[in-house]
Structure formats: C-alpha cells, structure tokens
Structure 1
Amino acid sequence: MSHSALKLVTIGGGSSYTPELIEGFIKRQDQLPIKEIWLVDIPEGEKKLQIVGAMAKRMVKAAGLDWTVHLTLDRREALKDADFVSTQFRVGLLEARVKDERIPGYYGMLGQETNGAGGIFKAFRTVPVILDIVKDMKELCPNAWLINFTNPSGMITEAIRTYGHWDKVIGLCNVPVNAMLSEPATIGKTREELTYKFAGIDHFHWHRVWDNTGREVTMDILKAMYAGRDGGLPKNIFDVQFFREQVDQMKMIPCAYHRYYYREEEMLKHSLDEWQGVGTRAQQVMQIEHELFQLYQDPNLDHKPAQLAQRGGAHYSDAACEAIASIYGDKHTHMVVSTLNQGAIPDLPEDHVVEVSAVISASGALPIAFGRFQPAERGWLQLMKNMELVIDEAAATGDYGLALQAFTMNPMITSGQRAKDMLDEMLVANEKDLPQFAGKIKALKAAGVTVHDEVAAHIDEHIGQI
C-alpha cells in the first residue's frame, strides 16, 4: 500500500449514504493522505451517481481539500491500483427490495431486508456480484483492503472469504455503532468510560458492557431501556419490547433485530399491517430517498443533510471510514466487525465469519474472545450461522435444493408447500439478477409460475422514481 497518496474506491457510489462517507473522510483528513476517490455505479444508477457525485465534489471543495473525485460506470478503471475498496451497493436497486417485502407478505410471512425470505434473496442477488468484484480486485488491486457494508453484511463477508478466497476483508454494520452511541447516556456515562464486548453474527449478536471501574453494567443499561431511555433502535425496526424475564435470564443485551425472533408474532403482525397500509419499509425508503436526492440536487448544499438520519443505515459510512483509517494508521481501534472467528466464539467453527468486537490495525481485525454462550443463545446462533452457510452455498452454486433448505431452516418462514411456492415466485420475480438460477427459473416459468398481480403492481408503481 502506498503511504503517500491513497486511492479509495466506493462501489455503489450513487447511494444516498455517500455524503456520509465523504463527510467521514473529510473528518479524518489528517489521518488519511487521500489523493483520489472513485465513486462507481451501474448504468441504472447513473442519474443518482451524477447527483450524489456532484454533491461529493462540493463537500470536498467546501472543506478546502485538493482531492479528486471521479465518477464512473467503469468498475475496472476505478479498481486499478486501489488501496481501499468499500462496497455499498444494492443489486436490483430498491425495486428488488420491494419484491423481497411484498412477495412474502402476499404469503402471510415477514418481508424484511436482511431477515426471512427477503434477506435470503438479497444474498442470492449479491453474492455473484461481489465474487465478480473480488475477481477484478485479484487482477487489478491485489493488495487492497475490501471494506464491505453491502447487506446482508455477514453473509456477504463470508462469501468473499469462502468462495472469493479473499482474506483482506472486513464486514461492517451500523447496529453495534448505534448501540454504542446511544447506550452510555442511558446510565449517565460516556462511550470512553465503557468497555463493550459483542459476539454473534451480523444482525444476530448480543453484547455485554463494563464501566471504567471494571463493574459489569449490562443489566443497568437494560433497566434504563425498560424505563424508556433510548437504546439506539434503528429507524427501520418496529419497537416492541423484549420480554423482561428473558433478557434478565440471558444477562446480555440482544441486538435490535432479535425482535424478529424473540417477538416474531408481533413483528409479523406489524409487517403485514404495513404491507396492507402505508406500504413496506422499501416503499417508505423510496420516499425518503426521493426527498434526499431532491436535496442533493441543490447546488448550494455542501454538507450531509439531517434527513439522512431517517434512513435505517445512519453511521454505516462513518464506520467504514474509521475502519480504513484504523488499518492505514495502525490505530488499534475497538470496532465491531464481521471477520474470521479464530476462536472468539468457541460455539462456532474457527474458520467461519462471525460479528465480534475486534481490534483494528494494519493487520486487519484481531477478534476479541467472548467465550461460550448458554444453550438458548448457542442453539439460536448455531442454527442461524449454519443457515447462512447454506444460503451462501446456494447463492454461489445456484443449487435449488439448497435454496429450499435455507427456506426450511429460516425461523421467519413457515416450511411447507406455501414456502416452496414463495421461493418459486421470488426466483421468477428476480430473474434478471439471478444468473446462477437461470435453468431453474426457466423451468419454473415453463411450469406456469408467475409473479402475482398485487406484487407486480406495487413494483411497477415505483419504477423510474429517483
């Protein structure tokens, strides 16, 4: 890695999160000798790339920096000799997310971006693309670090290592960041006064906390949350309390996404209510995105607007900048990342990706040992991690039997004929983004499988919106 001038590449550069990424780099201008930033997108994302790219240039200029911001649809040109590559793309754009949420709802099941059938299909669409990117990186920037925050982040990071055979990768998520930003104040502390230990997998982890005298304060934070103090719930998750007796027994703080598993009935009801009423989260996000891009087009706007916090992924991009600065500057920062287990969680194999507290330095992520879980958490974790492995293998190979296995294992999906029908419809609906399943999709269409009118209507309604 050159230590004089850095070339940073962001794939999915037209994302509404990009201004936060640029802000994060500007904030760390003394730590990172940046020379050029390349924002890469695909033809369908070109309009957004131009808007957000022009804004990125204004932000850099307003900060008085001489960085060059390049906008391109040519990924290979961007990747050549890159030092750091960050990935924040959405295969199939928001229309694909609408399918992930509307189709399961039609079958009476939960449609969600990274959980249930929607999460499985997001992985199916994303894995072939990320493996393609890794292939390009091996040729064009073999020494670069890959910082992934494309969801489902844990599964994508696992695929990069297992099927891409690329070791210089760190997966990021904003859920632990939100927790560490909001929890300390609930007990009158600052982040600096607390020690955090996280363990699990992406969107399925637990954590414990100690104060600066060495006393564990996990239960104090939980008590404060039950007293109504904000514990950092992401914008995209319906707020239903965990059962107090359950968390008292586990003596750990579950991540926000555990609501989909610990309060499945209530979360499903809320999801179906939105499905029938205001529209699914993807449909709401389209509205937020539309408003953000209207703002981004203002030639006078040269800073990140407050409205970006309404997106569920706030603080994602800043975490990516911190990971890059920590690797480049050998900072030994504590971060929660998806990385190789290496014994941090003895309940899972050491050669699989987990999400844990780690020290980030020039050598990447050094996971911090968490120890064994109790049977309840261990059982959940082993089921969910093994399901992820099945999803990744199905995504990498296009094996329909494995896709069915993943659907059967997933706690959000009621297994049986209805689940198989839902799988088949989702395969057909995502045809253009699932080359690995092409043969099976052709056979399904020949057998008469189609996308239901209700779903098709909602997808069509949003096509063409910025």
Structure 2
Amino acid sequence: MKKFSITVAGGGSTFTPRIIMMLLDHQEEFPIGKLCLYDNDKDRQEVIAKAFEILLKERAPQIEFSYTVEPEVAFTDTDFVMAHIRVGKYAMREKDEKIPMKYSVVGQETCGPGGIAYGMRSIGGILEILDYMEKYSPNAWMLNYSNPAAIVAEATRRLRPNSRIINICDMPLGIMIHMAKILGVNEKEFDISYFGLNHFGWWTQIKDKEGNDLMPKLKTYVKEHGYDIHVESAQHDDESWHETYRKVKDVYAVDPETLPNTYLKYYLYPDYVVAHTDANYTRANQVMDGREKTVFSAARDIIEKGTAKDCGFVVDDHASYIVDLARALAFNTKEKMLLIVPNEGAIENFDPEAMVEIPCIIGKDGYEKINQGRIPQFQKGLMEQQVSVEKLVVEAWIEGSYQKLWQALTLSRTVPSAGIAKQILDDLIEANKGYWPELK
C-alpha cells in the first residue's frame, strides 16, 4: 500500500496534536511515509514539533518527520496539505470577540463582526499556502478547515477557482456525535440530508443504514434538551459548549421541521448571546486558559521527560473527519461527507455561485455533489442575507473597499444598525493594522 506525504500547515496550532494522533491511529488504512509541520511562527511550532519528534520515534519510527518555516521544504513532494491556520493567533481572536461586545453586539470567532475581521485576515494566508502547494506539489490536495471557513471558501472560489482545494468543517460531525449519543448509535451509520452555509445549516433527514427514520426520536429529545448530552471530547465538552447545545432547543423551535446547526443561535438569538457573554472574559480567554495551556504543557512535559509515555496527547474523534476525507481521495472510497462547495444548482432555488455546505460523494477525482432540492423560504431568506455578507467581505478584500466591508457588517443579522456597523468597523480597522489590506 502506498505511503503518503502529509504537510500540516499551522504546525504550531493547538489542533495539530489531535490531527497527528488521529493519523497515527489510522495507519493501517491510511499509511504515512512522511509528515512535515509548517508554520510561520518558528518558536511556537518548535514546542509542538519537538514533542512529536520524541513521540513518533517511540510509536511510529517508520514515519519520516520534519518541521520547517521554509515553504519550499514544506510543500515539495507532498500528497496532502492539511491546513488549519489562525492568522493573528488567539490575541487577535480576543479582539474579534471583545470589540463588538463594546457595542452590545455578538463577539464570536466565526460569526458576525468577529468572523468578518478574522476572514479579512485569513484570506491572504490561505491563498499563500495554496500557491506554495501548487508551485511545489501541483498534484497535491489541500484539505482546508481554517476558519472562518465560509469566507475562506468564497475567497478561493473567486480567486483560485481551479485549485485542488476542498473546504471542510468538523462542526456538523461534532453535532452528529451528540445526536448519535442521544440515540445510542454510531454516527458513522447515519445517512443524512443537510443544506446551508458553513456554520449556518440544517439537517432535513437522518436515517440509519437500514433506512429507518431517526428524526422523530431526535426531535423529541431536542425539543426538551437541545443536543446537550455528555460526550467524551477534548474539544466541545466544557460548560460554554453545554450551554450552546442546550440553546439549540430554542433554535429548533423556530423551525421544527429541521434540526439546526448550533451556530444559528448567534443569528437567531443575538440578544440572548450578548446577555450571556462576559465582555471581559470571552471564549478566546477560555481557550487561552484551557486548551492552549493544556496542549503546550503536554508538549513541554514530553520534551522535559524525553519520552511520550503517558503523555497528554489524545486521539480526538473530530480529527477523524480530515483523515476520512484524505482516505476517500486517496483510495476512491466514495465516502459521503459534508463539504463546502459551489452550489451550481445543488440547492435548486438558491444562488448558483454561493459556497454551500451539502453532502458530497468523495473519490480520487474530488467530489460529486448530492442535490438537496428546493429549500424552504425561511432558510432561503436567512441564507441569502448571510451569503451576501460573505461575498461582500471577499469583494472588500479584493478591492480594498471600506464601503463594501461596511455593507457586509450592516447586512449581518448580528448587527442592529448601519451606524453601529460603522463604529465597529472603524475599531476593527485600527485593531487589524498590518493584517488587513488597506481600505479606501
């Protein structure tokens, strides 16, 4: 069986250990010959990399491991680039969240003004990595789940339409893991229909492999509890996530014909979110005090001890998404997965040029979209507004347009007026000096 070369772009990320541990856990069905970490922050990456140098020598000495800040080294002779970069790191995420909160507007990393700010930073970084890959390994695939995925996907559609990039998000999988726990089954057995934008979608069908409809039982539970149930997960099991999963019951009540993505709470209940957010200690602070410290502490512990025996790095089910996708592309497994793709009629009564999140069949040549038919007016209206936000952000980045970015913020359901949108925008411009293109 062929052994693959993997480049992880964003090698210093707190998510990198999960990806590597999941890759190691799937060596029989997806063997790796070479693994390279790439990051533009040498010092941050080095901590994660040195820990994995030790771990891989002990657990998978057959894998040729390296780490670098040199693009040519990282992207030459690679089969897959797994990209999860965060331009500006958590320091900028904190600003994304806290600046809108000054105006009693949702402060969130991918939704509303914070997501727009993050998107304006991310576009250039993703295009740069994509260009490196295509220069040094033109036949490689880039599996991108850098946030905010919707804006990044729209940028690649506009600016790199022929690139071998597949944009993904593991949040629906995270929700389906909860659904499976509620039902007492395995999420891998689900046969689903789903439509929407990234972080902005709905399940219309969930069946088991025998064709039995699981929606009625799920809806009965969700009506009372949302998706809240204890799941062993390093990523989505702290109290703020439990609150998010509980709030789904109110999001569901708006349209009980479907089951919603958790992120819809930011758009349908922004007043509630603001009222239940500590403006001085946002999710970024929770992550910096939680996952950030845990991951880097585990890495330093390995380096200090010189062994990864009993280390704090664990396999995470969420990371399995990217491994399943790589395997499907490599071995033509025809796996059905949710991807963020150009609509082009897959949702019949929606903008053909929108980047939508729908089920696709993945094989060696890429993906085939599964038609989701016509969607209801309620979701269509919400999606038209949100996709316009995403398109305007990308146009603002391309054109350096203050006007279009102001329009994007004004259109967001999380922002109450054009006046507040302008105040937030001016603050974000100041905070993002050196990260955004200059706006005129």
Give me the whole-angstrom Cα distance separating, in 1, the residues matched to 2:309 and 2:337. 29
Matched residue, 1:295: 298
Question: Map of 1:307-456 to 2, 5 A cutoff?
Answer: 315-434=317-436, 436-437=437-438, 440=440
Which of 268, 279, 291 is equivalent to 1:275?
Answer: 279
User: Could you report, residue by residue, the CA deviation over 1:397-452 in whole angstroms, capped at 9, with x for unpaired residues?
Assistant: 32111101101110111223232121011111110111x22x64xxxxxxxxxxxx
Deviation for aligned residue 1:304: 7.0
Give yes or no for the alignment of 1:58 onto 2:37: no
Give me the whole-angstrom Cα distance separating, in 1, the residues matched to 2:251 and 2:428. 38
Q: Give the number of aligned pairs.
A: 425
Q: Higher mean Cα deviation, 147-156 or 126-135?
A: 126-135
Give me the whole-angstrom Cα distance separating, in 1, the residues matched to 2:190 and 2:134. 40
SS at the partner of 1:112?
coil
Question: Map of 1:224-303 to 2, 5 A cutoff?
Answer: 224-228=221-225, 230=228, 234-235=236-237, 237=241, 238-239=243-244, 240-242=246-248, 247=253, 249-271=255-277, 274-276=278-280, 279-288=281-290, 289-299=292-302, 300-301=307-308
Matched residue, 1:305: 312
Q: Higher mean Cα deviation, 229-238 or 185-194?
A: 229-238
Matched residue, 1:210: 207
Give me the whole-angstrom Cα distance separating, in 1, the residues matched to 2:247 and 2:431. 35
SS at the partner of 2:173?
helix
User: Could you report, residue by residue, the CA deviation over 1:354-374 in whole angstroms, capped at 9, with x for unpaired residues?
Assistant: 111111211212222222111
Q: Is the 8 A contact 1:135 1:164 kept in 2?
A: no
SS at the partner of 1:265?
helix
Deviation for aligned residue 1:212: 3.9
Q: Is the 8 A contact 1:125 1:395 kept in 2?
A: no
Q: Is the 8 A contact 1:98 1:282 kept in 2?
A: yes
Give me the whole-angstrom Cα distance separating, in 2, the residues matched to 1:245 and 1:33. 42
Deviation for aligned residue 1:280: 0.7
One-letter amino acid matched to 1:294: S
TM-score normalised according to structure 1 size: 0.85
Q: What residue ranges of structure 1 are gaps of 5+ in the alignment?
A: 441-466
Change (3 A) 1:69 1:291: same
CA RMSD of aligned residues (A): 2.3
Q: Higher mean Cα deviation, 68-77 or 84-93?
A: 68-77
One-letter amino acid matched to 1:388: E
SS at the partner of 2:98?
helix
User: Could you report, residue by residue, the CA deviation over 1:175-232 in whole angstroms, capped at 9, with x for unpaired residues?
Assistant: 1111222212322333354311221111001112123443432232021233436367
Change (3 A) 1:58 1:333: farther
Matched residue, 1:450: none
Change (3 A) 1:329 1:148: same
Give me the whole-angstrom Cα distance separating, in 1, the residues matched to 2:135 and 2:254. 51
Matched residue, 2:103: 107
Question: Map of 1:24-63 to 2, 5 A cutoff?
Answer: 24-42=22-40, 45-63=41-59
Give me the whole-angstrom Cα distance separating, in 1, the residues matched to 2:409 and 2:396. 11
Deviation for aligned residue 1:315: 4.3
One-letter amino acid matched to 1:344: A
One-letter amino acid matched to 1:261: Y
Give me the whole-angstrom Cα distance separating, in 2, the residues matched to 1:104 and 1:383. 20
Change (3 A) 1:102 1:418: same
Q: Is the 8 A contact 2:251 2:260 kept in 1?
A: no
One-letter amino acid matched to 2:285: Q
Change (3 A) 1:12 1:246: closer
SS at the partner of 1:89?
coil
TM-score normalised according to structure 2 size: 0.90
Q: Higher mean Cα deviation, 177-186 or 12-21?
A: 177-186
Give me the whole-angstrom Cα distance separating, in 2, the residues matched to 1:189 and 1:4. 33
Deviation for aligned residue 1:244: 5.8
Question: Map of 1:76-155 to 2, 5 A cutoff?
Answer: 76-155=72-151
Q: Higher mean Cα deviation, 132-141 or 151-160?
A: 132-141
Matched residue, 1:187: 183
Matched residue, 1:169: 165
Q: Is the 8 A contact 1:408 1:415 kept in 2?
A: yes
Give me the whole-angstrom Cα distance separating, in 2, the residues matched to 1:250 and 1:361. 34
Q: Higher mean Cα deviation, 110-119 or 135-144?
A: 135-144
Q: Percent identity?
A: 25
